Amino acid sequence: MATSSEEVLLVLNEVRHLKRDGSLYLMTERLAWQDDGKDVFSVSHFYADIKQQKISPDGSSKIQLQILLHRGNSSKFQFVNHDGPPSQLKDRDAAKELLQQLLPRFRSRANKELEQKNKMLQNDPELFQLYKDLVVSGVMTADQFWDSRKNNNSISKDAGDCPGQGTGVSAAFLSEIQPQADGCNGVKYNLTPDIIEAIFRIYPAVKKKHLENVPNNLSEKEFWTRFFQSQYFHRDRINTGSKDLFTESAKLDEKGMKEEAAKAALNPFLDIQALTDKSLDDGYGAKTDYGRGSADQVNSSIVKRFNLHNTRVLTASENADSTSSSATNALSKLIPNSSLADKDTSHTNHVNNHNGPSTSTSAPSSSKRARLQEAISYKDLKSHSTGMGVSLKLQRTEGYYHGPMPAQAGNMVSPEEILRAVHVVQRDMHEYRSNQSKLPSRQTAASVLSELSPGGALMGGSSQQPMHTLYGNDLQQEISRMYVALSELLRHFWSCFPVSNKTLEEKLLRMNDTLQQFQSKKLIPFKESLARQHLQPNLTDHLDDLLDTAFRKFASWHSKKTGRGLT
Amino acid sequence: MKLDVDGLDVLFPYEFIYPEQFMYMRELKRSLDAKGHCVLEMPSGTGKTISLLSLIVAYLLKHPLELTKLIYCSRTVPELEKVVEELKLLIDYYEQETGEKSNILGLALSSRKNLCIHPEVSREIYGKAVDSKCHSLTASYVREKREKDPSVPVCDFFEKFDGFGRESTLTSGVYNLDDLKDAGKQKGWCPYFLSRYTIGYANIVVYSYHYLLDPKIAELVSKELSKESVVVFDEAHNIDNVCIDSLSVHITRRSLDKACNNIDTLKKKIDRIKDTDAERLKDEYKRLVQGLRDASAARNTDAHLANPVLPDEVLQEAVPGNIRNAEHFLSFLSRLVEYLKVRLRIQHVVSESPASFLKDIYNKVCIERKPLRFCAERLHSLTRTLQLTDIDDLSPVTLVANFATLVSTYTKGFNLIIEPFDDKTPTIINPILHFSCMDASIAVKPIFDRFQSVVITSGTLSPLDMYPKILDFRPVTMASFTMTLARSSICPMICSRGNDQVSITSKFESREDIAVIRNYGNLLVEISCSVPDGVVCFFTSYIYMESIVASWYEQGIIEKIQKNKLLFIETPDAAETSVALHNYHKACENGRGAVLLSVARGKVSEGIDFDHHFGRAVIMFGIPYVYTQSRILKARLEYLRDQFQIRENDFLTFDAMRHAAQCVGRALRGKTDYGIMIFADKRFSRADKRGKLPRWIQEHMKDSLLNLSTDEVVQVSKKFLREMAQPFRREDQLGHSLLTLEQLESVDMKKKLDQTIHHN
């Protein structure tokens, strides 16, 4: 415990792991479990590594929490609070809730990394091939592969890291979820993670519901089924008091809309309520029909819904913009977490107060004045020169006042000198005669060339035909792939020399293993397939040479090392 | 630049001028010279306001004896603030050119809600509440009470203003609403009363229509303004409706019930006062014998609303005997209210003239015409005597009293309609008594009579001859100006059919036709796909818009629109609409682009500009005819036909087309701006409709653009947008649609200029 300087968010005592009692720690970055007798964490999982949490069903005798990792393994924690099952349940739920909040953030970070890697692979087909050869075939693990790429691609990574512009949500995203009839009296909705994310961004109420209910009350699928069945999704909703999961959300929305409206301290030129300068009672003036909406509740609620929907879409993209521009961590770009959102709204609140029709503010807002000025100005009636221009900011004023310093007179080259130099060069060129006495005669040159051409005396060792006509395209590609993969591995291998420290030594050992694996898993099968096709096995001679050189080097290093170890 | 407009030196605060601005000034000067009224139509966004201000300020300075004041009326608060800002620009230019401080004093006046700086009162959201609270702190009897009992709260700002503000006046300069508030805060004076006091001697007053047209307010605020003034009604295309509104009243059963309660409260008050302070009631009685007028003179804080009757009709006589006594008056009032209640208890629609109403009320409950006329005044006097502070609560009974005064004063030009239920919900009994003015000239007549020159101006006043008719005045000049353009920056066209060749129209018979609705939708989808930034659509009514949106939703058209742009919709709720508008602006600013669905005659169409990227295309879905089944409208049409010989159809078309023009005209501001105007109804192409559009729009509507299908509309607008995307420099405009001083003064330009003006 002393090892960590991170903030501990939650400590739960009496948690059993692998039949040993201990405490469960939830920290900002990871989850850890400590044996009661020791003072180091025997289990520690970074949230980013956690794929999923699972809980024991309500009726079961043991109150457990299972952590599934991306790698496939899992840890099970049993809650054994001596106060009995209710408090055990409470402990478990506390851990679960916190994890539920924490995991999505880290998941998105993990996703983010994955996304980036994916992008790199897509952009670079060679790399992709290499990845396929090395990782997919099991020569290297993915981590090794990416570790080795890290330094190489640091530049491109940086470029990827710099916050781009957040993308907004299309206003019509809901239309992408077209229901399809599945033939047996049902409809099918196709949801993609993108759409789900969009729904969450636009309708925070749904997101909240999702967090609350999934996975302990409903499964993911059930949740979305209910969503599509709900009145909430169908926008001609009126609160008929029907009991579905989203009735409450609709009410919340209603409230949000009202708040938005109450925040009416907007641009004073757009505030319709403040337009007229009349404060008479209702009874005065002719009553007109235009001011009334229809009696049809459904229609007017659809209109309301659209306004709300589009407002949300707009604010969602604004949030994305503002957070990304503030260059905070990448995860907030994907899911604007609550603190950020809060900050944002408070900020706009502030601005709004400032802009508002200054009922109580002391100074008339300058922004209002600026708006007025803008509204009355006619740009084309003004002359050009009215613009003030940008003021010049100088860090060192002396440079500005003295101007550029004249260069030293001695270094100056006068135009005459340049002209003279040109003349000299021209004359020299004119008088140039090549000295050909050292060159072979034409005949010798021609014969050497012909000897060196395919079919010539000096080319006897190789085949008569050029390589590319001999072998099929597939084979050529295969060979080139082998070369790329091998040279990549060899690059790592050779980069370990001289072996100056422990890590390099470890890497060298690992690379040696990898090369051997390469030889056994890739090269030998390839040779065999060549043999099957009755092709010359000497195609791979050079590859063998390369490997042999590496193995020899390793062997000599190894013997030297063991020798040194012995002495 | 310094212009010479028919011998008058005018300083114009820009280096360049549009030709039509110069012509506008010339016409304006002519009517000022003639001391007459004029109607001037100049395209929106060609700098009408600055031309007006430049000329009139120059005139004020040159002929200080003939013209002393400019009263500039605009419709909305932002508009009047813009005017004051332009005035500031002009006065700054004057000071810069002449090198000395000008002694022009110009200011804006708005309601208490926009000017109050009292820490508590100004926090109120509704204008009515602010007025009422202000009244409870500043009424004369409250302040009298304060002298005896210092614990009575009063408004410090008003006290200070009353103490010193009247002697030391505002220094010359231009004061916008915020400047007034600043000045008020600095000196501790109430900005509202400061402004109200200052307009008496200011050179330029900018306020909204109601302060001049609504007699209830005008009598309080604008009574003292000098006759040698020029009154400008800007954005006057809707002035007749403002006039009518200011004299109309409608009473529901709810307001009658409330009025009953009011009367009860008043009765209790009187009883209490009788016990404690009987003198006061006696005083009042004596005063009423002498006459009302002098009693209330110079107490401008007491009255909340003045007599609804016009200044001319000021009652000089004493209050009739039967309502002098406070209790008698109250029983008189309750009789009136009971009578009205009975009248509202009907099953069928009643429509009658004020005369027959008066006859009936005399027969049924023996209420004569004369005491009715004094109702409003008598109630004011009573509230004053009872020293009531919360006038807001009394508004229902005030409404009834005002109605009584109106109905007994005007026998002509008014109509009384009692409807037992709303047409749309015939099962729900909701009786309303409409007392509606049908003659716009009644409210505006005193203004034409009183002031030397009245200027009616707007971007859309076509057909010009309609306004003198319905407002009943004789203008000395009527002119419409065209917009000189170096490139045709407006693209008006008529979309008469969809791609399936089904003609599109909002005609009543076919408006529910699914093909029409689909074609409208497809048009919008196509436009939202090819036009950048903002697209504004106007429908003929809320109900129509809502039903169309609903069927678009079912047909999947909404989704298609949303793929291209965000969608915002105007609703009857003002707060919601403000938020939607705000978001629409944001979406246009950040590049996502948006579509705004809105309603002609709605709040958005009346007061919001969609200049530049906020409105690259405007689509008018259907012809915005007023709801013709309304009985009030029918009565008005009848009246117009009988009195002014205006045919019903002419008026309806005129009204529809002015609103259509108003909607599409909002998209353009200045010559660097550009916009597409789509009239989506085949009826627009008929000559009688098209001919009623403003000339500056008609001129750009080529014959080839009168009968287009959706595809063709999209083709034309794509081509137009490509043209507009070409660089547009000052040199292109110069000498044609933009002039320097030298160019303006050259001889052949004078000839050219004459072509830009059309006299009617």
As given in the structure block, the two tokens for residue B241 are 């409706």
Res. B737: pLDDT tops 60: yes
Which of the two residues, B507 and A468, has the higher pLDDT score? Answer: B507
Q: Which of B128, B567, B601 sits opposite A306 (nearest CB)?
A: B567
B78 touches chain A (CB under 8 A): yes
CB contact under 8 A, A269 and B78: yes
Cα–Cα distance, A142 to A534 (Å, whole number):
35
Q: Which domains are assigned to chain B? A: 247-439 (no CATH), 490-727 (3.40.50.300)
- pLDDT score at A231: 58
Residues of A in contact with B630 (CB under 8 A): 289
Residues of A in contact with B632 (CB under 8 A): 286-287
B433 touches chain A (CB under 8 A): no
* pLDDT above 90 as % of chain B: 49
Chain A residue whose CA is closest to B402: A284
A123 touches chain B (CB under 8 A): no
* CA of residue A417 relative to chain centroid, distance: 60
Q: Which residues 352-411 of A have a C-beta within 8 angstroms of B?
A: 357-360, 362-364, 368-369, 372-373, 375-376, 378-384
Q: Which of B111, B245, B556 sits opposite A279 (nearest CB)?
A: B111
Asked if A349 and A341 count as a contact pair (C-beta separation under 8 A), the reply is: no
Residues of B in contact with A275 (CB under 8 A): 76-78, 603, 606-607
CA distance B273 to chain A (A): 29
CB contact under 8 A, B550 and A236: yes
A238 touches chain B (CB under 8 A): no
Residues of A in contact with B576 (CB under 8 A): 257, 261, 304, 307
- pLDDT score at B567: 93
CB contact under 8 A, A310 and B583: yes
CB contact under 8 A, B248 and A285: yes
CB-neighbour burial class of residue B471 (10 A; exposed 0-12, middle 13-18, buried 19+): buried
Residues of B in contact with A294 (CB under 8 A): 542-543, 546-547
Residues of A in contact with B15 (CB under 8 A): 381-383
Give exposure, B207-243, as e/b (b: 16+ Cβ within 10 Å).
bbbbbbbbbbbbbbbbeebeebbbbbbbbbbbbbbbb
Q: Indicate which of A310, A313, A360, A367 best probes the interface with B, i.e. most B CBs within 10 Å of its own CB.
A: A310
Residues of A in contact with B134 (CB under 8 A): none
Q: Tell me, what DSSP letter sits at residue B487?
A: S
Q: Which residues 208-227 of B have a C-beta within 8 angstroms of A?
A: 208, 210-211, 214, 216
Which of the two residues, B595 and A200, has the higher pLDDT score? Answer: B595
Short-list B260, B213, B751, CA closest to B444:
B213
- Determine the average pLDDT of the residues in B226-237: 92
Q: Tell me, what DSSP letter sits at residue A523?
A: I
Short-list B297, B137, B107, B129, CA closest to B211:
B107
CB atoms within 10 A of CB A234: 10
Q: Which of A257, A275, A300 sits opposite B78 (nearest CB)?
A: A275
Cα–Cα distance, A73 to A169 (Å, whole number):
37
Q: Which residues 443-482 of B have a C-beta within 8 angstroms of A?
A: none
- pLDDT score at A34: 84
Cα–Cα distance, B20 to B319 (Å, whole number):
55
Q: Which of B85, B434, B571 sits opposite A303 (nearest CB)?
A: B571
B579 touches chain A (CB under 8 A): yes
Q: Cα B422–B427–B431 angle (5° rounding)?
A: 40
- pLDDT score at A31: 83
Chain A residue whose CA is closest to B738: A381
The string of DSSP letters for A460-488 reads TTS-SS-HHHHS-HHHHHHHHHHHHHHHH
Tens digit of each residue's pLDDT (9 = 90 or more) over B12-71: 999 889 889 999 999 999 999 999 999 999 987 788 999 999 999 999 999 999 999 999
Res. B476: pLDDT tops 90: yes
- pLDDT score at A333: 34
Tell me the pTM. Answer: 0.73
Cα–Cα distance, B130 to B132 (Å, whole number):
5
Q: Which of A175, A368, A376 sits opposite B559 (nearest CB)?
A: A175
Cα–Cα distance, B648 to B635 (Å, whole number):
11
Chain B residue whose CA is closest to A267: B582
* pLDDT above 70 as % of chain B: 96
- pLDDT score at B579: 86
CB atoms within 10 A of CB A467: 11
- pLDDT score at A128: 80
- pLDDT score at B594: 94
Tens digit of each residue's pLDDT (9 = 90 or more) over B354-409: 999 999 999 999 999 888 988 888 888 888 888 887 777 888 999 999 999 999 98
CB contact under 8 A, A261 and B567: no
CA distance A352 to chain B (A): 12
Q: Which residues 301-330 of B have a C-beta within 8 angstroms of A?
A: 305
B417 touches chain A (CB under 8 A): no
Q: Which of A105-109, B7-11, B310-314 has the highest mean pLDDT?
A: B7-11
Q: Tell me, what DSSP letter sits at residue B739?
A: B
Residues of B in contact with A316 (CB under 8 A): none
CB contact under 8 A, A293 and B543: yes
Residues of B in contact with A382 (CB under 8 A): 14-16
CA distance B670 to chain A (A): 7
CB contact under 8 A, B565 and A279: no
- pLDDT score at B29: 94
Give the ipTM: 0.86
Q: Which of B15, B123, B546 sits opposite A360 (nearest CB)?
A: B123
Cα–Cα distance, A432 to A443 (Å, whole number):
25
B729 touches chain A (CB under 8 A): no
Cα–Cα distance, A541 to A473 (Å, whole number):
19
B121 touches chain A (CB under 8 A): no
Asked if B38 and B490 count as a contact pair (C-beta separation under 8 A), the reply is: no
Q: Which residues 156-185 of A have a C-beta within 8 angstroms of B?
A: 168, 170-172, 174-175
Q: Indicate which of B569, B610, B739 best probes the interface with A, i.e. most A CBs within 10 Å of its own CB.
A: B569
Cα–Cα distance, B377 to B398 (Å, whole number):
10
A425 touches chain B (CB under 8 A): no
- Print pLDDT tens along chain A (567 aa): 444 457 777 888 888 888 888 888 888 878 888 888 777 788 888 887 777 777 777 777 788 888 887 777 888 888 888 888 888 888 888 888 888 777 777 766 666 777 777 877 777 777 787 777 777 766 667 777 776 666 555 444 444 444 456 677 777 777 767 667 666 667 777 777 778 888 888 777 788 888 877 777 778 778 888 777 775 566 555 545 455 667 677 777 777 766 766 665 567 778 887 788 776 767 787 766 544 555 567 788 888 888 888 888 888 777 655 544 433 333 333 333 333 333 333 333 333 333 333 333 434 467 788 888 888 878 778 776 545 566 777 777 766 666 665 555 556 677 888 899 999 999 888 888 766 666 777 888 888 888 777 666 666 555 555 566 667 788 888 888 888 888 888 888 888 877 778 888 888 888 888 888 888 888 888 888 888 877 766 777 888 888 888 888 888 888 888 876 555
CB-neighbour burial class of residue B697 (10 A; exposed 0-12, middle 13-18, buried 19+): buried
Q: Which of A281, A363, A369 sits opposite B128 (nearest CB)?
A: A281
β-pairing verdict for B429-437 and B249-252: antiparallel
A345 touches chain B (CB under 8 A): no
- pLDDT score at A356: 36
Q: Indicate which of B89, B393, B583 best probes the interface with A, i.e. most A CBs within 10 Å of its own CB.
A: B583
Cβ neighbours for A34, distance < 8 A, ≥ 6 positions apart: A1, A22, A23, A25, A40, A41, A42
Cα–Cα distance, B204 to B72 (Å, whole number):
7
Tens digit of each residue's pLDDT (9 = 90 or more) over B64-107: 999 999 999 998 898 999 999 999 999 999 999 998 888 899 99
A292 touches chain B (CB under 8 A): yes
CB contact under 8 A, B560 and A172: yes
Q: Which uninterrupted H or E stretch holds A143?
A: helix A142-152
The string of DSSP letters for B364-392 reads HH---HHHHHTHHHHHHHHHHHHT---GG
Using pLDDT thresholds of 50, 70 and 90, give the confidence band for residue B301: low
- pLDDT score at A411: 60
B393 touches chain A (CB under 8 A): no
